[in-house]
Every structure is written in structure tokens, then in C-alpha cells.
Amino acid sequence: MSTYWPLIGVALVVIGFVLRMNPALVVVVSGVVTALVAGKTPVQVLELLGEAFTKQRYLALFLLTLPAIGLLERHGLKERAQAWIAKLRGVTAGRALVAYLAGRQLVSALGLYDLGGHAQTVRPLMAPMVLGAAENAHGALPEATREKLQAMTAASENVGRFFGEDVFIAFGAVLLMQGFFAENGIALEPLQIALWGIPTAICAFVIHASRLLRMDARLAREIEALRARAAAGSAP
């Protein structure tokens, strides 16, 4: 049974997320606890991180990003992002997300698909900016509305990366498709497959951007309805 003790890290992650604790803190603590329970010393944990950095740089970068983002959030990163977006006139939640969607697709098509991400960009920067733009236009928002805006921000990240990276000729999925076609007697160059990803990326941008702009109109209607009901309820 002692061999199952390292799985306590999984339980810590579940408990931390259920209690809505800081995700960065939960993941880092769970990883350290798992290593210690498995018999590793603190020095050995640091050695593992160093070894991962030299062999798999992207993994070490992800592990180091989490505590860095948590530290920035603790010192007011979200508040700064909201304050900055509030100074821009004419910026709505939908327009901000359309701009992010376009930028995300573009950098992903250039092969920089790890430049953004949920942990690095969506949670600490884009979600607070979107909420700040909506609150700047409509005032305080109900919790359900805030959750919808955060969900749409995460969806914009997914759409931008997923349909942008397929345009990059060296992306793994493009090479996988080339191999599949080659096994079935169809010779295609990666460039040919990537070029056919462009119409799909354009359609994805147009469809999701229209959803984001409709979200602005729907948000305005919902806030107006809430205010009307509140005014009717307070009337003598």
C-alpha cells in the first residue's frame, strides 16, 4: 500500500480546486508533496526540475510559470489589467476578445502557439481585461455573467490556437496527416495541407468573432433587464 502514497498529490489537486484555492499554489504544492512522499529530498526535487529543464524545456517552463503567475496575481496583476482596459474608450468585452482571437490565430499560424495559454495569458490578463471592459460599460456584474465572460475568454483561446496552429507547416498534426495520407498512397507536402487549413481558420475566426460581438448585445440586454427588474422591485 505504501507504493500508492505518492498519489496523494492527485487528491490535493482535487481538494484544492474544490475549495477554489489558487490553482498555481495548489499545483506546485501538490507536486512538491508528491515528490517528498515518494522519498525525494528537497534538493532532489530541485534536481528533477533542473533535469527536466535540460531535457524537456517546455515542461520546466510550465512548472516555473505557475508560481510566477501566482506571484504576479498576488501583487495586483489582475487589478492593473482591469485599470488599463478601463482607460480605453469604446472597448467592449466582445471587441477585446475579437482582437485577442485574431492575434492568437496569427501567432499560432507562425508556430508560436505556446506564446499564450490559459495559465499564462487567459487567467491573469485576458479574463480580468474582459471583465474590466464589461464593468466599465455596464457597472457591477452578476456572478453568473462574470462566469460566462470568463468561459468565453477561455473559448477564444481554444479557437484561436486550435485553428491557427494547423496553418503552421511544422505542426505535429500537419505532419501526422501527411503520414496518414502517405500510408494510403497519397503524396502531399506539409505546405499543401497547411494551406488548406487557411480557409478553415478564416471561417473559425468569422464564426467565433460574430459570437463575441453578439455577446456584447446580449450582455447589454441582460444588464438592462436586471436593472429594470431591480427598479420595479424597489418601486413603492
Domain boundary among 45, 74, 103: 74
143 and 58 assigned to the same domain: no
pLDDT for the residue numbered 147: 92
Domain count, the chain: 2
pLDDT for the residue numbered 51: 72
55 and 114 assigned to the same domain: no
pLDDT for the residue numbered 1: 46
pLDDT for the residue numbered 61: 54
Domain of 45 in residue numbering reads as 2-74
61 and 97 assigned to the same domain: no
Domain boundary among 74, 94, 114: 74
173 and 221 assigned to the same domain: yes
83 and 32 assigned to the same domain: no
58 and 87 assigned to the same domain: no
Name residues whose C-beta falls within 8 Å of residue 211's C-beta, 6 or more positions apart in sequence.
Answer: 152
pLDDT for the residue numbered 78: 67
| Global confidence as pTM | 0.66
CA separation for the pair 22, 40 (Å, rounded): 25
Q: pLDDT (tens digit, 0 to 9) for every residue of the chain, 236 residues total?
A: 457 777 888 888 889 888 888 776 787 788 888 888 888 888 888 887 677 666 555 555 555 666 666 666 676 766 776 676 766 677 889 999 999 999 999 988 888 877 778 877 888 888 888 988 888 888 888 888 999 999 999 999 999 998 988 888 777 777 788 888 888 888 888 888 888 889 999 999 999 999 999 999 999 898 888 777 777 766 55
CA separation for the pair 33, 8 (Å, rounded): 8
